[in-house]
Structures are given as structure tokens and as C-alpha cells.
């Protein structure tokens, strides 16, 4: 019953039938892939898989796969913040991961997820940027966090946050000293330290189908059928550190509250996964 | 909450000649100029057979738009998609251009309120008018023992300035529906408990009602001026 038609733009679009197909499932309180409405997809997390990067991770949420590599470099600090290091996230959604994306400059969605991660890093003081400073006004660390989606099946935000966090926990920075006599930088690769993280956020995304049905962790097909996205990011204390819902349908407050509770539970689950993987 | 707790708002509709609807909207020192077009012709490759599409363009004061503008764009777009009666105009497009003139904090809510008035000025049929409120939560600098017994150790600031936004531990922008005062969109950052969130929601909802009143007043002022 799930028929796929090709529109004039070559974009894959689901036929109207799939809408009914989905409704029939929801009536029974189950989704086409066998999950309950609030159930998440199984997750696989692997860290340190890229040996040439300072920190790396690979995460699979259902079929959505994201690889994150972090490269640490030394640079001159920003003049407005001479004592702070710099973190630059970048999300790439290439045509490799889904026919939705075209080659060329980053699409809107990639830019929005990038900004989301940037906001998360800035607003929650995720990393103590003072720790990334080697010498005030002279030398700081800059962390380039590149996230590449290799398979897109919805919910890129959650997968990106998990992979970014796991990669950051995996980062090892060598000891750096400035030799003042000859003004050269000495890097001691034998002596490395892990990055100190101030908080450990986990994001959970929900979408709304037909105003009243809320589903967690949507797949790519569900993203096309539903409108209105709600992303809640929680920290290890169960506080809300970021929440985003750009438009869509109006939601009842009790629904939002239900989502918050679910996000806290999911947060705890992912925290234990982080612990298991990073040790 | 009284309107006096909000920074002063100014709204001047129909400021541009060739747009379908335009507005110069200011909230305190933050000023935006919004132009709206629609329903207009749409490229075939972008058309949607069922409903109109919405395009939002954010222009910063200086330089070219970057990812920060993209992020605001998709937020305003989401709000517009939910308020405009898009199914009335299939295969067409609504485009909204937001030019930032001055940003001194609470830019997102100023842009949404401006867009709301621009859509109204263009006479576009909407289900409701979106009303945005920006709230900042700040730890109290001195905990005075006399005023309260330490149940609330934070201040709630409406329409914060850039400095206040930076000092605050949490910033929220809440968008309400002007008819039923239901929550349409949320943007919240910074650690807060769900209780604090609920509190903000309640007080922002009250404030949104006074903004709706401001919308009404400025429209009736404009109409009165047209009659004269």
C-alpha cells in the first residue's frame, strides 16, 4: 500500500494513500514499523572509530546513521573573547544519505541543525571554553566538529546531538606549552587529557500527527506525513535545557507535559549508554 | 501583568509602496521592517497541489545572511505556516521579508510580531494572529529576605535587552494564538525545571493578551487615520 511516486522535481513523495495507511495503524495504537507511539528506535553507539581524529563517534538511531569527527587545532583566539576556545559544529546532509538532498551548498535543514547544535553549545555552557585556552590572547584550541549523515531516516537532530556528545567525551587534547625563550609552541603528544564537559544533554524529538497523536523519534516517512516538531533537550539532572517547536499545529499543554516526561526518561536511558560506551 | 512590564512597542503599517503589506515594528530598541507578498505566483518545481507554500527571508543589518538568519527564518516560517489559511490558495506562494534595522535583544519575538502585523496589513486570511513574547529568567542579584521567603530566587524579565539576555540563565520565546491564547511555538534555552517553564508560560500568556490589545489599537488607529 505504500506507494511512492516521483514528482516533477525528481523528489520522492508519498502518495495520499500512505496517509490513510498511517491513520489505520494509529487507530490500533501502533506504527508501521511495529513501534508504539512513544517508543524510540534501537540505538547503536560506537566511539573512537576514526583514529586520525581527536575524537569521533558513530551513532545509529534505527536506520539514521551519523558519524562525528572532531579535529582539534591551535589558533589565535577571537579578539572579543581572548581567553576562550572555539567550537565549530557543522552538519552535512549530502545526497548520499537521502534523495531529498541535492549536491551543492548546504541545504536549509543542514544549516538549521548546525545552528541548533551551535545554540546548544553556546547556551548551555556545554564545554568550559576557558579550559580550551592555552595562553590568553595568544593561543587557544579550536574544535571543528564535523557531523556527516551517511543514512537519513528521520530525526537527524537527536542522532546529531548524541553523536556530538559522544565524540566530545572521546576528545583527547595533548599538552601544549609555549616556550617563551624561542617563542615556539611545544606539543607533547604523549601526555593527553580528556575534555571536561559541564553538562551532558540528550535531545528527544516528537512530531504531531492529526493534531492529537504524538509520536516520538519519527522516521523519514513519518516526517513527511506529520506536521509540527517538538524537540526537548534535557540534562543529567532532568532539567530542560533547550526546547524548540517552530510552528506546526497548536498543542495542548498536557501533551507538551507528557512529552517532557518522556524526554526525561529517554535522557536517563541515553546517559547510561554514554557511560557504558565511554567508560 | 501590565503592558508597562514590556518594553514600548511601536507599529507603523503600510510603510512600503510596492509590497502587499508592510510594517515597521519596534519593541524597545529592536526595530524590524517586514514586507509581505501573497498569494503570488509560484515556480512549478516548488508548487504544492494542496496548499500554499511560505517563504521567509531574513536580512541582517550588515553583511550577508548566515546560519543564524536561516535558523530564525525557519522559526518564523513555521509560525506563518500554522497561522495562514494555506489551503485556500493551492499552488501559490506567500513570501515574507524581514529586514533587521536594529537588534537590541528579543529579536525573534519582534520579528514574529512584525510579521503578524504585515500579514494583517496585506489582508491575508489567517486562522489567528501569532503573538510572540520573549522572556528571560535571571537569578536575583540580592536575595532580599523581606519580599519573599526564597520560593522564587529568580526574576522574570519580559522583552529583555541584549545585556539582560546574556546575563539570564534561561531565555524563552513563546508564540501564542491570538484567538484562544494557545501555545503555537516555543523556543527555550538554558537550564530550567519544568515548574519554571510552566510559570513562564502562564505569565507570558497574560502578557500576550496585552500585545493582542496593542495590535487592535494600532489597526484601529491606522483605520481612523485613513478615514480622515
Predicted TM-score (pTM) of the model is 0.89
Choice between A10 and B208, residue whose per-residue pLDDT is larger: B208
Percent of residues, chain A, with pLDDT higher than 90:
51
Domain residue ranges in chain A: 3-278
Residue B151: predicted pLDDT: 53
Structure-derived torsion over alpha carbons of residues B134, B104, A121, A54, reported in degrees to the nearest 10:
160
pLDDT tens column, B24-49: 999 999 999 999 998 999 998 888 88
Which residues of chain A are within 8 Å of residue B180 when distances are taken between CB atoms?
Answer: 250
Percent of chain B with pLDDT over 70: 93
Which chain B positions have a beta carbon within 8 Å of A120's beta carbon? Answer: 189
Q: What is the CATH number of domain B9-208?
A: 3.30.230.70
Domain boundaries, chain B: 9-208
Reduced to 3 states (helix: H, G, I; strand: E, B; else coil), residue A191 is strand
Residues on chain A touching B193 (C-beta within 8 angstroms): 239-240
**In the numeric block, which cell numbers belong to residue A134?**
592555552
Per-residue pLDDT reduced to its tens digit, A20-50: 888 888 888 899 889 999 999 999 999 998 9
B119, B172, B184, B196: best to mutate for the A interface, most A CBs within 10 A: B184
Residue B147 binned pLDDT confidence (cut-offs 50, 70, 90) = very low
Residues within 8 A of A (CB atoms), B 89-128 only = none
Mean residue pLDDT of chain B comes to: 89
Shortest distance, CA A76 to any CA of chain B (angstroms)? 23
Q: Which of B44, B51, B75, B78 to mutate to test the interface with A (most CBs of A within 10 A)?
A: B78
CB contact under 8 A, B201 and A8: no
The neighbour count for residue A243, using CB atoms within 10 Å, is 22
Banded pLDDT at A10 (limits 50, 70, 90): very low
Summarised one tens digit per residue, pLDDT across range B177-224 is 999 888 899 999 988 888 888 889 999 999 999 999 999 999 999 889
Q: What is the pLDDT of residue A1?
A: 40
**How much is the average pLDDT of A158-176?**
93
Inter-chain contact A119–B71, Cβ cutoff 8 Å? yes
**Residues of chain A in Cβ contact (below 8 Å) with chain B:** 8-9, 108, 111-112, 114-116, 118-120, 123-124, 199, 227-228, 230, 235, 237, 239-253, 256-257, 260
Q: Are A115 and B188 an interchain contact pair (Cβ–Cβ within 8 Å)? A: no
Q: Taking 90 as the threshold, does the pLDDT of residue B109 lie above it?
A: yes
> What DSSP string runs through B41-76?
---TTT--SSS-EEEEEEE-SSS---HHHHHHHHHH
Rounded distance between C-alpha atoms, residue B94 and residue B37, angstroms: 6
CA A64 to CA B153: how far, in whole Å? 42
Which cell goes with A175? Answer: 599538552
Q: How buried is residue A191: exposed, middle or buried, by Cβ count under 10 Å (0-12/13-18/19+)?
A: exposed
Task: Tell me which of B153 and A272 has the higher pLDDT.
Answer: A272
pLDDT beyond 90 at B77: yes
The lowest-confidence range among A66-70, A222-226, A231-235, B214-218 is: A222-226
Asked if the C-beta of B173 comes within 8 angstroms of chain A's C-beta atoms, the answer is: no
- What ipTM describes this predicted complex? 0.86
Phi, psi of A13 (to 5 degrees): -130, 140
pLDDT in the model for residue A55: 93
Can you say how many angstroms the Cα of residue A49 is from the centroid of all Cα atoms in its chain? 18
Binary contact (A123, B192; C-beta < 8 A): no
The predicted structure's pLDDT at residue A43: 92
Using CA atoms, how far residue A1 sits from A14, A21, A22, A27, in Å, is: 11, 7, 10, 17
**What residue of A is the nearest CA neighbor of B197?**
A240
Least Cα separation, residue A7 to chain B (angstroms): 9
- Rounded Cα distance, A10 and A265, in Å: 40
Would you say A152 and A220 are in contact if contact means Cβ atoms under 8 Å apart?
yes
Residues A193-212 pLDDT 10s: 888 888 889 999 999 887 77
Residues B3-9: what's their mean pLDDT? 71
**What ranges make up the beta strands (E) of B107-153?**
130-139
Q: Could you give the CA distance from residue A235 to residue A198 in angstroms, rounded to a whole number?
A: 10
> What pLDDT is recorded for position B4?
44
Element (H, E) at B101: strand B93-102
Contact B78 A116 (CB under 8 A): no
Residue B74 has its nearest CB partner, among A9, A112, A241, at: A112
CB contact under 8 A, A243 and B44: no
A188: its cell numbers: 607533547
Tell me the nearest-neighbour CA distance from B109 into chain A, angstroms: 13
Question: Which CATH fold would you assign to the domain A3-278?
Answer: Ribosomal Protein S5; domain 2 (3.30.230)
Tell me what pLDDT residue A21 has: 84
Here the contacts of B212-216 (C-beta below 8 Å, separation 24 or greater) are B212/B129, B212/B131, B212/B178, B213/B3, B214/B3, B214/B9, B214/B11, B215/B11, B215/B116, B215/B117, B215/B120, B215/B129, B215/B131, B215/B178
Which residues 132-171 on chain B approach chain A with CB closer than 8 angstroms?
Answer: 171
User: Which among A112, A248, A256 has CB closest to B82?
Assistant: A248
**Average pLDDT over every residue of B50-76:** 93
* B201 alpha carbon, distance to own chain's centre: 15
Amino acid at each position: 500500500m505504500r506507494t511512492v511516486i516521483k514528482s516533477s522535481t525528481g523528489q520522492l513523495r508519498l502518495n495520499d494513500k500512505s496517509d490513510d495507511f498511517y491513520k489505520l495503524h494509529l487507530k490500533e495504537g501502533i506504527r508501521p514499523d511495529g513501534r508504539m507511539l512513544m517508543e524510540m528506535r534501537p540505538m547503536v553507539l560506537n566511539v573512537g572509530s576514526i583514529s586520525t581524529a581527536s575524537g569521533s563517534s558513530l551513532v545509529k538511531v534505527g536506520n539514521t546513521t551519523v558519524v562525528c569527527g572532531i579535529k582539534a587545532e591551535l589558533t589565535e583566539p577571537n579578539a572579543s573573547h581572548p581567553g576562550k576556545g572555539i567550537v565549530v559544529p557543522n552538519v552535512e546532509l549530502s545526497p548520499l544519505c537521502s534523495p531529498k538532498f541535492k549536491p551543492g551548498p548546504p541545504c536549509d535543514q543542514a544549516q538549521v541543525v548546525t545552528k541548533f547544535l551551535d545554540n546548544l553549545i553556546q547556551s548551555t555552557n556545554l564545554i568550559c571554553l576557558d579550559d580550551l585556552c592555552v595562553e590568553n590572547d595568544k593561543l587557544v584550541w579550536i574544535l571543528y566538529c564535523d557531523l556527516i549523515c551517511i543514512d537519513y531516516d528521520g530525526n537527524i537532530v537527536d542522532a546529531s546531538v548524541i553523536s556530538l556528545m559522544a565524540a566530545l567525551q572521546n576528545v583527547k587534547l595533548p599538552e601544549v606549552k609555549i616556550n617563551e625563550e624561542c617563542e615556539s609552541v611545544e606539543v607533547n603528544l604523549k601526555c593527553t587529557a580528556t575534555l571536561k564537559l559541564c553538562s551532558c544533554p540528550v535531545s528527544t524529538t516528537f512530531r504531531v500527527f492529526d493534531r492529537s497523536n504524538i509520536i516520538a523519534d519519527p522516521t523519514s516517512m513519518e516526517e513527511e506525513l506529520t506536521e509540527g516538531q517538538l524537540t526537548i533537550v534535557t540534562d543529567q539532572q532532568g532539567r530542560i535545557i533547550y526546547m524548540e517547536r517552530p510552528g506546526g499545529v497548536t498543542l495542548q499543554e498536557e501533551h507538551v507535559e507528557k512529552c517532557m516526561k518522556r524526554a526525561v526518561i529517554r535522557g536517563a536511558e541515553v546517559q547510561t549508554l554514554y557511560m557504558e560506551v565511554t567508560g | 501583568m501590565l503592558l508597562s512590564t514590556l518594553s514600548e512597542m511601536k507599529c507603523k503599517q503600510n510603510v512600503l509602496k510596492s509590497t502587499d503589506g508592510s510594517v515597521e515594528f519596534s519593541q524597545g530598541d529592536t526595530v524590524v521592517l517586514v514586507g509581505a507578498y501573497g498569494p503570488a505566483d509560484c515556480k512549478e518545481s516548488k508548487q504544492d497541489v494542496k496548499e500554499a507554500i511560505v517563504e521567509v527571508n531574513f536580512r541582517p543589518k550588515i553583511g550577508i545572511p548566515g546560519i543564524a538568519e536561516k535558523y530564525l527564518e525557519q522559526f518564523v516560517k513555521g509560525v506563518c505556516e500554522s497561522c495562514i489559511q494555506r489551503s485556500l490558495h493551492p499552488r501559490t506562494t506567500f513570501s515574507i521579508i524581514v529586514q533587521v534595522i536594529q537588534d537590541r535583544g528579543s529579536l525573534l519575538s519582534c520579528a514574529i510580531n512584525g510579521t503578524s502585523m504585515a500579514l494583517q496589513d496585506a489582508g491575508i486570511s489567517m486562522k489567528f494572529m501569532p503573538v510572540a513574547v520573549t522572556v528571560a529568567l535571571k537569578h536575583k542579584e540580592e536575595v532580599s529576605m523581606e519580599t519573599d521567603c526564597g520560593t522564587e530566587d529568580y526574576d522574570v524579565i519580559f522583552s529583555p535587552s541584549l545585556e539582560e539576555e546574556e546575563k539570564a540563565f534561561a531565555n524563552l520565546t513563546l508564540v501564542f494564538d491570538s484567538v484562544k491564547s494557545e501555545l503555537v511555538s516555543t523556543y527555550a534555552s538554558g537550564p530550567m525545571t519544568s515548574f519554571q517553564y510552566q510559570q513562564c508560560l502562564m505569565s507570558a500568556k497574560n502578557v500576550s493578551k496585552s500585545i493582542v490589545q496593542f495590535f487592535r489599537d494600532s489597526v484601529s488607529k491606522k483605520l481612523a487615520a485613513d478615514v480622515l
